[in-house]
């Protein structure tokens, strides 16, 4: 189906998901470590830095979609811009003397990350066409690999007594290498153009409207934005606080708590890999409903008191069940409207969940305690299922 050159270019595009994962998982395992170094409360550090990072991730998705539509910027050029800035910013972050620097640093870091993941995902969807659900899930396997490697590398560095600054420097260099490889391997890569009728005829779960609906007047936009926002709020809360949960609630050392985030991402990787084994139609609405229900149930179970081993296994299962949600919602957005502006808007609004989730959960941890952390995430799961059912109902009407 694809030439050898195209396949290598696609792998290079998948690798940009790994680079973004390095940047988004650089801070969570180090929340307590950096906070102690700067003598500030860890809930304050994690909540505000991540909030700023993903607020500007959302802005990058929205601005990039507008710029692509208005000025004709290619998805590739937006990814290149983002990935080079990610590398520079992470390496610069290793030199910061105090917490105030992180506040300003989180803004361009989030914006650069938004360009990489949003427009890298759209590139992958365009190459996948009718099978873009499987293609994007496969791309997100690369994200999971980066999300596993980053906390594991950080835990290794902390275990040998090195500063957290070495982690930032090392991850920045890895991102730079990936960026250079992406630039070289995609220099002649051309994205295919899929017609809505191609998608609609080959996949009965796709939705091809007979009349083009203005973006802000499209109910489907709000349902899918709501679904992705809620999911990312839950995922973001777990990513930022799961290491702190094991350290503060279960009494594990920082180096042992840090790799629990890798366990969660290992579950995500497995869940996204399993999607590749399903028939095409089962990778869309059925996958969304099954994954959202499973994620909600796993958070209900984690609401009870467990020992470190049992809690670790449950975190792995929770990641497995939640794995297909992000790529499948994004895939449905692209297939239903075949528009970079529509899809980037869904991804951008969804990214605000990564700002809202960790910040709101930081207040839960601060004022109510960690015992309320997972029950609230379970309640958010009910909201997620509601949005998915509304989108499904609208698609069928």
8-state DSSP, 246: I
CATH number for position 360: 1.20.1250.20
Instruction: Please answer whether residues 58 and 349 qualify as being in contact, where contact means their C-beta atoms are separated by less than 8 angstroms.
Output: yes
- Is residue 281 packed enough to be buried (19+ CB in 10 Å), middle (13-18) or exposed (0-12)? middle
Query: Would you state the pLDDT for residue 207?
Result: 46
- Residues 6 or more apart from 164 whose CB is under 8 A from it? 30, 33, 34, 37, 154, 157, 158
- 353 within a domain of the structure (yes/no): yes
**Spans in the chain with pLDDT lower than 50:** 195-208, 210-211
Q: Is residue 328 part of a domain?
A: yes
pTM: 0.79
State pLDDT tens for residues 189-218.
Answer: 887 665 444 444 444 444 445 446 777 778
Residue 315 domain-assigned (yes or no): yes
Q: Count of domains in the chain?
A: 1
Tokens of 13: 């595009």
Three-class SS state of 3: coil
- pLDDT for residue 130: 62
Does residue 192 lie in a domain region?
Answer: no
What is the predicted pLDDT for the residue at 98?
Answer: 85
Buried b (16+ CB within 10 A) or exposed e, 26-45: bbbbbbbbbbeeeeeebbeb
Place of tokens 């929205």: 62
The reply to whether 65 falls in a domain is: yes
Q: Give dist(CA 267, CA 52) in Å, integer.
A: 27
**79 within 8 A of 115, measured Cβ to Cβ:** yes
Q: Rounded to whole angstroms, what are the CA distances from 396 to 224, 391, 393?
A: 15, 9, 5
285 lies in a domain?
A: yes
Q: Does a structural domain hold residue 191? A: no
Residue 346, domain extent: 4-186+197-396
Q: Give the per-residue pLDDT at 1.
A: 65
Residue 105 lies in a domain: yes
Contact 217, 384 (CB under 8 A): no
DSSP structural state of residue 214: P
């Amino acid at each position: 189906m694809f030439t050898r050159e195209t396949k290598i270019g696609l792998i290079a595009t998948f690798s940009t998901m790994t680079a973004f994962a390095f940047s988004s998982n650089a801070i969570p395992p180090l929340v307590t470590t950096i906070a102690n170094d700067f003598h500030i409360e860890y809930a304050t550090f994690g909540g505000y830095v991540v909030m700023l990072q993903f607020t500007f991730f959302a802005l990058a998705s929205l601005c990039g979609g507008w710029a692509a539509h208005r000025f004709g910027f290619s998805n590739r050029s937006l990814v290149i811009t983002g990935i080079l800035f990610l590398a520079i910013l992470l390496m610069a972050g290793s030199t910061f003397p105090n917490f105030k620097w992180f506040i300003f640093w989180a803004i361009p870091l989030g914006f650069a990350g938004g360009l990489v993941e949003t427009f890298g995902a759209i590139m992958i969807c365009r190459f996948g066409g009718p099978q873009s659900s499987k293609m994007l899930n496969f791309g997100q396997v690369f994200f999971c690999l980066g999300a596993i490697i980053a906390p594991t590398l950080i835990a290794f560095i902390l275990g040998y007594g090195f500063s957290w600054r070495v982690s930032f420097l090392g991850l920045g260099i890895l991102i730079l290498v990936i960026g250079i490889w992406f630039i070289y391997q995609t220099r002649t890569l051309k994205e295919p153009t899929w017609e809505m009728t191609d998608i609609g005829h080959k996949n009965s779960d796709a939705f091809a409207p007979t009349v083009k609906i203005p973006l802000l007047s499209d109910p489907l936009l709000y349902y899918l934005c709501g679904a992705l926002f809620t999911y990312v709020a839950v995922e973001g809360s777990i990513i930022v606080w799961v290491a702190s949960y094991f350290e503060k609630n279960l009494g594990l050392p920082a180096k042992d708590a840090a790799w629990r985030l890798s366990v969660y991402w290992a579950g995500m990787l497995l869940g996204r890999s399993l999607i590749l084994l399903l028939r095409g139609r089962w990778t869309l609405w059925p996958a969304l409903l099954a994954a959202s229900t499973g994620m909600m149930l796993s958070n209900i179970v984690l609401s009870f008191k467990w020992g470190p081993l049992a809690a670790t296994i449950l975190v792995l299962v929770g990641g497995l069940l939640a794995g297909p949600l992000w790529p499948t919602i994004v895939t449905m957005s692209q297939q239903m409207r075949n528009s970079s502006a529509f899809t980037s808007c869904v991804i951008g609004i969804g990214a605000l969940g990564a700002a809202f989730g960790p910040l709101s959960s930081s207040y839960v941890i601060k004022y109510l305690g960690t015992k309320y952390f997972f029950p609230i995430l379970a309640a958010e799961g009910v909201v997620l299922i509601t949005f998915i059912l509304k989108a499904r109902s609208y698609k069928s009407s």
